[in-house]
Structure 1
């Protein structure tokens, strides 16, 4: 059995990076500040700022208040609603898939590192486990980057959403910018991609005849043999 504990230090650090990236992806999915709308009509939107997230649209108001939100008015954005734009639908579906792939990748990293530090009979299985883990982390990064970049493109081009009247949202914002949901989600995707690359680049240590049980010649002992 080959000694592998010294070969997994970079992958141990990558596990920490992937865990942070996975958590940032989860936080981004729950935030309402994906697309921040700036509006001039303050009859309903008292602050002049509305937030469009993946799951709901909200704004602060003194006239329209959702129970349980104090001074905030929120309406859920359904996956199958006719007004829901495709980039929001992609966010709802792909971000959840990203969380699942990232969780599987982190679990695979724990399993792979366990094999490294506690030893396995076949070192080739460690390499395969790390490659699989890296592929899952890269998949998580890719599936989250698609809706993140799509929504960022919609912000850059000031795209509007035709909300139903009960949302009390304007037909179009004066301007909009990317909120913390997109920023944190992008950072999480980058961290997942970095960790995936590190996992995939794992290399087995060079073969050592001493650790493989073959032994090594002792020149000093041989010199005494010839005396």
Structure 2
């Protein structure tokens, strides 16, 4: 019963992780650059994401432009696109597989088959978390290195946006869910070893026979 409860908790964490991963992939605030001039009307916030760049003016206007050219993007942005999409696909596959292998469902066949299925689902979540952690870490590294580079002008320096933090949290949720699924699968095969009843009966009979032979010798 405890294993089923842990699997249900892991499934909820995985659902939260995949929703956060998809949201972080689509959000435009991977980079944030706030420029405030002497006049408050000129204050703007520039947002850069994987798929579009947006500008938010202090007057309330908000405009976005899509990144149509793939080859014109930096290498880390192209890698982040690929890795985040792969993370979304793997997490979606993990949701489907783990639904079949969970103990609280009637799908997947016998216990041995469900055990292997839930392990495969947990492995998908772990791979999805790794695939999502690589681009977010690389993106943060590029932002920090550009921020401390003295050759880059101040208006071209950015800070990490909310999409990166959401990506980190989502990957951690997917990793925890994958570990719980794999651990609950392995626990089924671990346990105390007992001798079969037939072997115990044979050993008892043999001991009784040997004891009977010893008593006969004394008689």
TM range (shorter): 0.7 to 0.9
Q: Trace 1:39-188 onto structure 2 (pairs within 5 A).
A: 39=35, 46-61=42-57, 71-78=61-68, 80-82=70-72, 84-113=73-102, 117-118=105-106, 122-158=110-146, 173=155, 175-188=157-170
> Partner residue of 2:31?
35
Question: Secondary structure, in 3 states, of the residue corresponding to 1:75?
Answer: strand
Q: Is the 8 A contact 1:39 1:174 kept in 2?
A: no
**Where in structure 1 are there 5+ consecutive unaligned residues?**
64-69, 161-169, 210-227
Please state whether the residue corresponding to 2:79 is helix, strand or coil. Answer: helix
Query: TM-score scaled to structure 2, two decimals?
Result: 0.74
Structure 2 counterpart SS, 1:157:
helix
Deviations 1:183-227 (A, max 9, x none): 101100000000001111122175899xxxxxxxxxxxxxxxxxx
Contact 1:38–1:174, Cα closer than 8 Å, also in 2: no
Structural RMSD (CA): 3.2
Provide structure 2 residue ranges, at least 5 long, that are not aligned to the other structure: 195-219
In structure 2, C-alpha distance between the alignment counterparts of 1:121 and 1:29, rounded to whole Å: 36
> The residue matched to 1:38 in structure 2 has which SS?
strand
Q: Report the equivalent of 1:13.
A: 9
User: What secondary structure is seen at the aligned counterpart in 1 of 2:86?
Assistant: helix
Shift of 1:125: 1.5
* 2:18 corresponds to which of 17, 22, 29: 22
Larger radius of gyration: 2
- For the structure 1 residues 71 and 133, does the alpha-carbon distance in structure 2 shift closer, same or farther, using more than 3 Å as the test? same
Distance 2:95 2:109 in 1: 23
- In structure 1, what is the Cα distance between the partners aligned to 2:79 and 2:2? 42
| Residues 99-128 of structure 1, C-alpha deviations (whole Å, 9 max, x = no match) | 111011011111111x55538764221221
The offset of 1:46, in angstroms, is 3.6
Distance in 2 separating the partners of 1:117 and 1:61: 51
Please state how far the C-alpha of 1:40 moved relative to its aligned partner: 6.0
C-alpha separation between the residues in 1 aligned to 2:130 and 2:108?
A: 32
- Which structure has more helix as a fraction of its residues? 2
| Number of residue equivalences | 188
- Which of structures 1 and 2 has the larger relative contact order (alpha carbons within 8 angstroms, sep 6+)? 1
